Amino acid sequence: MKIAVGVDHGGFPLKDTVIDVLQSLGHSVLDLGTYSTESVDYPDFAAAVGRAVVSGEADRGIVICGSGVGACVAANKLHGVRACVCHDTYSAGQGVEHDDMNVLCLGARIIGPALATELVQAFVNATFQRDERFVRRLNKVLDLEEEGA
């Protein structure tokens, strides 16, 4: 898969780890910045990743800020993005399998590189399970998205 990765200054410390894991698993990375610890605004990077996913330029995205929260809130404002902060491996995989999560959000001030590695592995190794109940629930989420548009 092609994975878009975006971080703010708070997420920057985990960026190389995440990119290395993705590449070691054979995925290609669309690096959307930022490129240093200089202070920037997380919505800009959440938006860049979200737009890449929605447009199809990337298959999925990963956004990292200090907590993961701001990036998640911002990314979910985009039509077609299903982002969540997952700091446990069960959610990072099940979020894809049951909920078709397409953007993983991480907080570099909360977790370290070892857990980030496992979370990224769980996220990219999972695929949406097209069981009738999961598709039905996803369609209800998409209806909500239309209602709020």
Binding site for ligand RB5 (CB under 6 A): 8, 10, 42, 65-67, 69-70
Assess whether 65 carries a catalytic annotation: yes
| Least distance from ligand RB5 to the Cβ atom of residue 31, Å | 18
User: Three-state SS string across 55-123, please?
Assistant: HCCCCEEEEEECCCHHHHHHHCCCCCCCEEECCCHHHHHHHHHHHCCCEEEEECCCCCHHHHHHHHHHH
CA of 115: how far to CAs of 3, 11, 87, 135, in Å?
19, 14, 8, 30
Minimum distance, C-beta of residue 1 to ligand RB5, in the bound complex (Å): 25
- Which of 9, 72, 86, 98 is labelled catalytic? 98
**Smallest distance, ligand RB5 to C-beta of residue 42, A:** 5
Q: What are the backbone angles phi and psi of residue 77, rounded to the nearest 5°?
A: -75, -15
Distance (Å, whole) CA 110 – CA 30: 24
Assess whether 79 carries a catalytic annotation. Answer: no
How near is the Cβ of 40 to ligand RB5 at its closest, in Å? 9
Q: Which two tokens stand for residue 60?
A: 């999925």
Active-site positions read: 65, 98
